[in-house]
């Protein structure tokens, strides 16, 4: 969720998420926006404001204190699911790491490594929505997939 007045990204995946704000009751303002990906112009919070490593990172927030939003478009990596398998097509030669999070709870359910080329990663997870986060030395991608 984005607070358009404060220009803040709020992670609503975390259990018990709360967000407090103050508003004048004499002015109607379009304040909040629910997003499934981060606009390329959004400036994200610093790493100290993001979720803990065992939980789903705030959607689109860069890791390691970079303080910029992920862009869900890459030149080298394509990710999709088929049944309960995550498929990574890495057109580059760099190896990378995949983290799979349950989209409802935000809990990390699987880590896996991948190389250049096509890698199939079996999940054995229950059917539902999951967030796949892949990273190589030069690219990051966060994408929601449905496992059936």
Average pLDDT of span 10-34: 76
Instruction: Tell me what the mean pLDDT of segment 91-116 comes to.
Output: 90
Q: Which of residues 71, 89, 114 is at a domain's end?
A: 71
Task: Please identify which residue in the block is written with the tokens 């929601």.
Answer: 144
pLDDT exceeds 50 at position 30: yes
125 with 61, same domain? no
The DSSP code sequence of the chain is -EETTTTEE---SSTT--------TT-----EE--SS--TTPPPPPGGGS--TTBPPPTTBPSTT--SB--S--SSEEEEEETTEEEEEE-SS--EEEEEEETTT-BEEEEEEE-SEEEEEE--PPSEEEEEEEE-SS-EEEEEEEE-
38-54: pLDDT as tens digits = 554 444 434 333 333 33
Do 66 and 3 reside in the same domain of the chain?
A: yes
In DSSP terms, 147 is beta-bridged to 128
Domain count, the chain: 2
Q: Are residues 27 and 90 in the same domain?
A: no
SS (H, E, C) 97-131: EEEEEECCCCEEEEEEEECCEEEEEECCCCCEEEE
Same domain, 137 and 106: yes
113 and 139 belong to one structural domain: yes
Among residues 71, 97, 123, the one where a domain terminates is: 71
The pLDDT of 111-126, averaged and rounded, is 94
pLDDT at 127 exceeding the cut of 60:
yes
Domain closes at, from 43, 71, 99: 71
| Res. 15 pLDDT band, cuts 50 70 90 | low
Same domain, residue pair 104 and 120: yes
- Domain shared by 2 and 64, yes or no: yes
Query: What pLDDT, on the 0 to 100 scale, is given for residue 43?
Result: 44
Res 5 pLDDT > 60: yes
Q: What digits encode the pLDDT tens for the residues 132-147?
A: 999 888 888 888 888 8
Range of the domain at 25: 1-71
């Amino acid at each position: 969720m984005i607070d358009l007045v404060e220009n803040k990204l709020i992670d609503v995946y975390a259990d018990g998420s709360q967000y407090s704000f103050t508003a004048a009751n004499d002015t109607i303002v379009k304040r909040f926006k629910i997003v499934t990906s981060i606009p390329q112009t959004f400036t994200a919070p610093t790493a100290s404001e993001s979720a803990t490593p065992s939980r789903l990172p705030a959607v689109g927030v860069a890791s390691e204190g970079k303080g910029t939003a992920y862009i869900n478009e890459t030149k080298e990596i394509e990710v999709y699911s088929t049944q309960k398998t995550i498929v990574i097509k890495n057109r580059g030669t760099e190896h990378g790491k995949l983290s799979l999070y349950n989209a409802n709870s935000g809990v990390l359910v699987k880590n896996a490594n991948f190389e250049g080329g096509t890698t199939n990663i079996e999940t054995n997870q229950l059917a539902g929505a999951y967030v796949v986060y892949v990273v190589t030395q030069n690219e990051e991608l966060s994408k929601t997939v449905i496992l059936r």
